[in-house]
Amino acid sequence: MTEMPPHPPIGDYAFISDCRSGALVSRSGSIDWCCMPRIDAGSCFGRLLGWENGGYCSITPKGEWSSSRRYIDDTLVLVTTFHTEDGEIRLFDCFASHADGEQHPYSQLIRVVEGVHGHAELDLRVLPRFDYGEVRPWLRQEGVRVYSAIGGNDGLLISSDAEISPLGNHDLEATMNLRAGERIRLSLMAVPPELLDLDPPEAPDPEELDHRLEEALEWWRQWAAQAELEGPSRSEILRSAMVLKALTYEPTGAIVAAATTSLPESPGGDLNWDYRYSWVRDSFFSVRSLAEIGFTSEAERFRRFIERSAAGGAEGMQIMYGVGGERRLTEASLEHLEGYRGARPVRAGNAAANQLQLDAYGTLLELTWRWHQRGNSPDDDYWRFLMELVENAAKLWNKPDHGIWETRGKPRHFVHSKVMCWAALDRGLRLAEECMRKAPVENWENTRDEIRAAVESNGYDEERGVFVQTFGGKQLDAALLLLPKVDFVDYQDERMVRTAQAIREELDDDSLVRRYRRKDREEGAFVACSFWLVECLARQDRFDEARRVFDRTVAAGNDLGLFSEEYDTQHNELLGNFPQGLSHLSHITAALAIAEQH
């Protein structure tokens, strides 16, 4: 093969991060999506969503080649091996990370190409396009093989020990001849344009870049060493844990739902959302999964992030925030981009931030309950915040909302949302008792019992003996598989056994699971829901069935063990934003459930 066709499959990409920025690297050695210095910033390389104008950074052999790739053990450092007629070359990709935990002053993307045997000629291209491809940068030479790229509020300092030179007015190129044992490096640092204009930092020399590559390896290995994991599934579970860590914004403790925006849920469709924000629900699921395998500090940092972002009061709480705690996440369509394989519109921002999603209250009380079980107790300020959350759940539980799937139509009475309000009251009561805190116990108990009675009568289909998606409805919803997670019903309760079986049968998509049946359009099987079914089956002692669904769902990831949001079973391709935190955290809990039951 000589070149990749436009818009490779989503599964062709790898993900790298420094827990601040993020990038996707294709099998061909092209960075087609990169956001620096924050993962929710406007892309500096974005041809994933605009092939002609989005920009990219590629290092690719000339002539015929093939490639293989992997993450170096216990790290998120990617190595792509190119095989040509005359040689073999390794390409290392990572973001700089200090082994001692101290942050570099600037996000830095490092690419190191190394000759293994023989010789090869490679093309290097750097085509920055700021603000989602709208801004072609002002390119200036700052020194020998050092250039700055400036536009708007974005800036890059680009340096290499290759003979890089301008390609037109906005881009850089080089031809690299590499023999066995030789290395060539490329550094891209996100530096504010005002600093590049007045006092640019020194470009790192080759030895420093080699050192930073080793530091990145050591940083990830030190973090991975905290894992309380053993057995044959360790490496797969740890890979998902690393993805969750990589989706964390280290300065604040926020966790984004995915690294991308607007990768479509259905081919060519318009269900294209920006997931580079911190949802309360998804983030709680993430830190719960991480805590189960030994990574507990992430949970505490996220708890504090939410309290700060909500300004210490439940009335000000949103269902999602920017990674710095931003509340206004205005949604806009980027009309200049054609979208991934023509899926439009491309969106930045997310209007769901203003939705009512009642499950957020139960999510935060469950987070605090688990934090308490690890030996912590809320102080006076945090207890006041928790009481407000419980009171809001008690006041709002009987209102319709947009639910876990953030439906953009008319609000409805979703069963999952009601159960999570029940969980808020239940956990609030438990915390009040165990922490000896004053609370309106009788009122909370009465409301908790009222919610249970409403769910068991209006959210349950007596004829089929199963829970349903909405009050008075008949439709199933894979989110019902989560009801045992908050102890609303036991996994082995006959109602839950029947519900899981009905979901397995009625929402089946080639042995994977859809969220629910849509009348207006088709979408892919939902990876997280498929893993939820695995956990449910495992905890119902249906081990063989759980194992079959687990293996099928794992196969919906790519060769690096990365999962997207959905999977197209007709074309065997990943769909939706990538990599998706909800899919990876659900993989962890499903794998643990199988290991425990086995």
Domain residue extents for the chain: 10-224
Distance CA 31, CA 54 (A): 11
Helix H or strand E encompassing 55: none
User: What's this model's pTM, rounded to 2 decimal places?
Assistant: 0.96
What residue ranges in 422-524 does DSSP mark as E strands?
460-461, 466-467, 508-509, 512-513
pLDDT-derived band at 130, boundaries 50, 70, 90? very high
Integer CA distances (angstroms), 421 to 149, 252, 414, 429, in order: 50, 27, 11, 13
Q: CB 554: neighbour CB atoms within 10 A?
A: 19
pLDDT-derived band at 200, boundaries 50, 70, 90? confident
How would you class 366 by CB atoms within 10 Å of its CB: exposed for 0-12, middle for 13-18, buried for 19 or more? buried
- The closest alpha carbon to 77, from 46, 110, 106, belongs to 110
Higher pLDDT, 310 or 112: 112
* Mean pLDDT to the nearest integer, 88-115: 87
pLDDT-derived band at 138, boundaries 50, 70, 90? very high
CATH architecture of 10-224: Distorted Sandwich (2.70)
What residue ranges in 303-442 does DSSP mark as E strands?
320-321, 332-333, 347-348
**pLDDT computed for residue 314 by the predictor:** 76
pLDDT-derived band at 306, boundaries 50, 70, 90? confident
How wide is the angle at C-alpha 588 spanned by C-alphas 468 and 250, nearest 5°?
110
Looking at every residue in the chain, the average pLDDT score rounds to: 94
Integer CA distances (angstroms), 547 to 173, 235, 541, 551, 593, in order: 49, 18, 11, 6, 10
**pLDDT computed for residue 309 by the predictor:** 87
Pairing type for strands 165-167 and 108-127 reads unpaired
* Mean pLDDT to the nearest integer, 154-181: 96
pLDDT-derived band at 4, boundaries 50, 70, 90? very low
- Residue 106 pLDDT more than 70? yes
Residue 572 DSSP label:
T
* Mean pLDDT to the nearest integer, 204-224: 95
Q: CB 473: neighbour CB atoms within 10 A?
A: 16
